[in-house]
Amino acid sequence: MFTKISILFLAWIVGLFAVSFLAIYFLPEFGNRFPYADQVLRVTGLPSFVWGFGNFDGVHYLRIAQNGYNAQYSQAFFPLYPLLVRFLTEVNLLIPKNPTIDSRIFVDPSYFYNGLILSNIFLFLALIVFYKLLKLDFSPKVAYGSLVLLLSFPTAYYFNSIYTESLFLFLVLGSLYCARKDNFLLAGLFGGLASATRIFGLLLIPVLLIELWLKFKNKSLEMEEISKTVIGLLLVPFGTLLYMLFLRLNFENPLYFLTSQPLFGAERTSGSLVFLPQVIYRYLKIFMTVPPTTQLFFNALLEFSFTVLVFACLLLFIKKIRPSYLVFALGCLIIPTLTGTFSSMPRYSLMGFLLLPLIVQALGNYYKVLVVFFVAIGIILVSLFTRGYWVA
């Protein structure tokens, strides 16, 4: 199975770059809907169909990796991914720095190379762990089909981008797998790293508590098991707490990662909660007032469609999905909507990955039809994203 997963992974990578390459001919004008493209991406010397996977948030992660949090509102991005990119670059294990680059203006190209390599390493590891996790409950056929469905998902290209998606996926899956194997200390360690990658890592606290209850509700724990379990649970919020301490010491605001969100973009609010019916009303108003030929309408339709799709799947399988998995998926999908927008929901929908085996199992071999549909949509989104047009 390792060979099959490796072939699937490599075929997916080749397919992504092929689509990105062809997109140049269909979208010859680069959208350039984000800052620093010249200083961070074009400076790599790579063709645009390669550095296009560093678009949008990618430039901010790379600037943080080289310069730290010296740019205003860059604190919205959690630190573990850029720290790993920086570490790999500084130790010169793979790609050395270019001594002729003026780092006061440009980001050294080695940061991009190492970031792309790291994203793909973590994705491959995540696929292996995901398969092992799914085999605890499903047949090998369903487990492998779930990997195919994951990689064919229209926004799966974020796993191959300078984003936290692949790292976060690996850490969450590592935590879940260790918890299912009764190693709550290691599950907590993975959880702590996840909470240093994205705020959603904190959702692993209730997830691990549920798994703990499921495992030990009918038997007593020895003192050593209790100690390891408690330590593991305490480790989960450690990543976020350390980042909050860093923000408090350096910027006098431990919640800067929250308060910078609306200022950074994505039309988010941080001062109050906006509930789902209000957000739905906002989008229905867009559909009724905005011309359907505009990019605003297209983006709103995309965001709304992904949100409806993933919530419909949750409702459909709510009685079949494992309780801990349900809590994680619901948290990852509901929390972003509380900021008053479905912006980025096509990307956040990837966090519904725990629904995939249920979809494959329900559809049988017909899940391949869904794969074809996903790939068709994905080709459009990859083309837009790598050519500098906002997708999610």
Choice among 159-163, 254-258, 375-379 with the minimum mean pLDDT: 254-258
Both tokens assigned to 82? 């850029």
Task: Tell me the pLDDT tens digit for each residue of 44-55.
Answer: 999 999 999 999
DSSP string, 65-99: HHH-S-STTGGGS-SHHHHHHHHHHHTTSSS---T
User: CA dihedral defined by 346, 349, 355, 356, rounded to 10 degrees?
Assistant: 50
Question: What pLDDT score was predicted for residue 32?
Answer: 82
Over residues 190-206, mean pLDDT? 98
pLDDT of residue 267: 57
What pLDDT does residue 188 have? 98
pLDDT in tens, 63-85: 999 999 998 899 999 999 999 99
Q: How confident is the model at residue 286 (pLDDT cuts 50, 70, 90)?
A: very high
| pLDDT tens readout for residues 262-281 | 665 555 555 567 888 899 99
| CB-based contacts of 3, cutoff 8 Å, min separation 6 | none
Q: In the numeric block, which tokens belong to residue 311?
A: 């919530």
Domain limits, the chain:
1-163+375-392, 174-266
pLDDT in tens, 117-161: 999 999 999 999 999 999 999 999 999 999 999 999 999 999 999
Separate counts of helices (H) and strands (E) for the chain: 19, 0
Token look-up 């499903």 returns: 138
CA distance to 80, 202, 221, 337, per residue, from 235 (Å): 15, 10, 20, 27
The pLDDT value given to residue 313: 95
Task: Report whether 144 contacts 131 (CB < 8 A).
Answer: yes
Q: Which of 109-113, 257-261, 354-358 has the lowest mean pLDDT?
A: 257-261
Mean pLDDT of 373-377: 98
pLDDT reading at 259 higher than 60: yes
- Give the pair of three-digit tokens for residue 90: 């500084």
- How far is the CA of 382 from the CAs of 27, 143, 152, 160, 210, in angstroms? 12, 25, 12, 11, 37
